[in-house]
A and B are shown apart, each in its own frame.
Chain A
């Protein structure tokens, strides 16, 4: 059965800290891995990763994929209170088939 596992489930840090969120997966037909930030209801897209070893970067956020070890990490440097959210990892495991992890709830304290 295809699955996506995220760790940690929750994390509390202070402003300025750097955090690393993990996403591991087991799917039979991997196409891409996506990271989303969910603050209230709707997840907002952060990154899509398809190739191993190529870092995607957007401001203080970066992500990389390892297709051999079947995982991805999302890094956030110099965290701010506005980074507090649930971060979701999803794997596209076939045509129109997205499997979501349970998310990592990040809380950044001022």
Chain B
């Protein structure tokens, strides 16, 4: 399994500001994913990040609002830009681990509250 860490674990931010969330994996992975989980809802995929190319965004998510970096095979960042209270959510990064049983592993998540 992959060990994934995220920073910060939680934050409270003022509307109009931006927050960058970091995701570090203990092994090299091809794809990293960023999810959002709004209160009481399930996980929604924001984008898929492949090292060396631009992230692929899901419907309803745009690069200007959620810029993503993927500088190497073990690290990615997600920025939540120009935040509003509607961005209050848990943000999770995940990786697809290749092995005997392919599956997704999730980071511990970042709980964001926008005032």
Contacts and interface: CB of A to CB of B under 8 A. Distances in A.
Contacts, number: 45
Nearest to B9: A41
A98 B107 contact: no
B103 A34 contact: yes
Interface string B90-105: 1010001000011111
A48 B107 contact: no
A41 B43 CA distance: 11
Interface residues of B, number: 22
Given A41-B92, A42-B107, A96 B43 contact: no
A43 interface: yes
Label chain A's interface by main secondary structure: strand
Contacts of B33: 96, 98
Nearest to A6: B42
Contact of A42 (B41, B102, B103, B108): B108
A25 interface: no
Contacts of B101: 48
A42 B106 contact: yes
Nearest to A43: B106
Contact of A41 (B31, B102, B108): B108
Contacts of B106: 36, 42-44
Interface in A30-88: 32, 34, 36, 40-45, 48, 88
B114 to A, nearest CB: 17
Contact of A100 (B43, B107, B111): B43
Given A45-B104, A96-B31, 7 more contacts: A32-B102, A41-B109, A42-B109, A48-B102, A88-B42, A90-B104, A98-B33
Interface of B: 1, 31, 33, 41-45, 48, 90, 92, 96, 101-109, 111
21 contacts: A32-B102, A34-B103, A41-B108, A41-B109, A42-B106, A42-B108, A42-B109, A45-B1, A45-B104, A45-B105, A48-B101, A48-B103, A88-B42, A90-B104, A96-B31, A96-B96, A97-B45, A100-B42, A101-B42, A102-B41, A103-B42
